Structure 1
Amino acid sequence: MADTYALLTETLERLAHATGERRDRLSDTFDAKELVQLSYETGLPVAVVVDLLNGGRAPRTSVSDRVRQRLVFLRETRRREDGGRYTYAELGEIAGVSRQALTAWFDTGVPNLESADLLRRHFGASAGFLTADEPEVLNEALQPKLMDAQATMGSLTPELQASPAFRRIATRARDMSDEKLEALAKWADMITERG
């Protein structure tokens, strides 16, 4: 069995290298909206996401506790089209079980696997969303961010790739508004002007 903390550490080191951030301050690479998005994708509280990004450890949880916590998280964070929270009866219908069976899942954290998978798929959650441990589910969610950062770095000249400060700017720039990019370009032009 793979050490999920070791796998996450490897991803975080690669992400730190690609973004130019210090490994112990990697959460600074993400703005508040991105941290909330990582929480949404993983089912982890934002504070746990930040701790893991900065090399910390998540509190130990059993699989049944994780499933229970993430079922509650799904119910709290996913909304119906009208913005309302799903009822137990509606979630049971999605999962193909009765409201009583679904309520028991929330109590025990032990769902029927096929029904839990229907629920997970309905909400577009990853395959390991309900059961993966904290470092594993975050590692999976970070893969697209890592690929984007590496693609950004790959488009830089070797001299710029060697500069952690420039990598930080390049990584953050892709999420900036057009106005901020224009201001950054003007500033860069001003400080690099010869004469």
Structure 2
Amino acid sequence: MGDLHTPLPETAARVRQLLAQQNLNADQYLDHQKLSFETGVTAETIAALLAGKTTPESRETDTDTIARNRFRFLQQTRHAPHGEPYTLQELGNAIGVSRQWVHQLLFGEEKKKPSLKVAKPLADLFGQEVTFLTDTAPQALNRRLLQIIQSLETAPEGPPDPMQQLFQEYGIQGISARSTNLKDHQRQIIAGMIIGMISSNDAEGR
């Protein structure tokens, strides 16, 4: 896995390489809308960056402007525990500022800046790191792609073990110790038999 100093094109290429090696759907992992939700970068800019292009958003480097835009993004895309978008008053109460201050930050004065003192509780409220508010668009996408690389590089190689899947899904423990000595085709046969018995019992119980 690389680090945040790895150029974005190199990181994206590594993701695609791992996805191809593991026969995984690249469209699922590199879905523009999903990556947008995870990074706070618009889907249009995500698409441009993955294609090696830029947008005004991707060229923005002013931290105050970026933080303001990410705050707006979070306010628009995340809901409070009650299932509705956070009200300005709820946001103000959560981060220790007035409702008017929140309104000015989101919709009003360009001079109103989300200081680090406010950024930390704001990020915590939405379950994010402070970097979510401060990363440039390329940095934000690079950070998320590096996380995907880490998950892909630590994933077990080869097809899923049918016996282990049964242990996890049905809580089967009794034969787990002996199953480690079985050959692949034997494990497939036993797994099929167990699934058949479980399905039969479920049918009889209905």
Task: Tell me, yes or no, if structure 1 residue 155 matches structure 2 residue 185.
Answer: no
Match of 1:46 in 2: 43
Identical positions, percent? 30
* Contact 2:68-2:114 within 8 A present in 1 as well: no
Matched positions, count: 147
How far apart, in 2, do the equivalents of 1:71 and 1:43 lie?
9
Query: Displacement, 1:13?
Result: 2.1
The CA RMSD measured in Å over matched residues stands at 2.7
How far apart, in 1, do the equivalents of 2:76 and 2:68 lie?
12
Q: Which amino acid aligns with 2:95?
A: A
- Higher RCO (CA < 8 A, seq sep 6+): 1
How far apart, in 2, do the equivalents of 1:51 and 1:111 lie?
28
Query: Displacement, 1:118?
Result: 0.2
* Contact 1:43-1:129 within 8 A present in 2 as well: yes
How far apart, in 2, do the equivalents of 1:145 and 1:20 lie?
14
Within a 5 Å distance, the mapping from 1:31-180 to structure 2 comes to 31=28, 34-59=31-56, 60-61=59-60, 62-106=62-106, 107=108, 108=110, 110-152=113-155, 155=157
Q: Which amino acid aligns with 2:157?
A: S
How far apart, in 1, do the equivalents of 2:97 and 2:119 lie?
10
Offset from partner CA, 1:30-68 (integer Å, 9 cap, x none)? 339943332112111112112212222232223222122
Offset from partner CA, 1:46-96 (integer Å, 9 cap, x none)? 121122122222322232221221111011011112321111111011111
Larger radius of gyration: 2
Offset from partner CA, 1:168-193 (integer Å, 9 cap, x none)? xxxxxxxxxxxxxxxxxxxxxxxxxx
* Contact 1:94-1:118 within 8 A present in 2 as well: yes
* Contact 1:5-1:136 within 8 A present in 2 as well: no
Q: Which runs of no fewer than 5 residues in structure 2 stay unpaired?
A: 159-206
* Contact 2:95-2:118 within 8 A present in 1 as well: yes
Q: Does 100-109 or 48-57 show the bigger shift?
A: 100-109
How far apart, in 2, do the equivalents of 1:116 and 1:69 lie?
13
Query: Displacement, 1:9?
Result: 1.9
Offset from partner CA, 1:152-179 (integer Å, 9 cap, x none)? 5x725xxxxxxxxxxxxxxxxxxxxxxx
Q: Which amino acid aligns with 1:51?
A: A
Q: Which amino acid aligns with 1:58?
A: T
Task: Tell me, yes or no, if structure 1 residue 20 matches structure 2 residue 12.
Answer: no
Pair 1:46–1:5, CA change in 2 (3 A): farther
Q: Which runs of no fewer than 5 residues in structure 1 stay unpaired?
A: 22-27, 157-195
Structure 1 length-normalised TM: 0.65
Query: Displacement, 1:16?
Result: 2.3
3-state SS of paired residue (1:31): helix
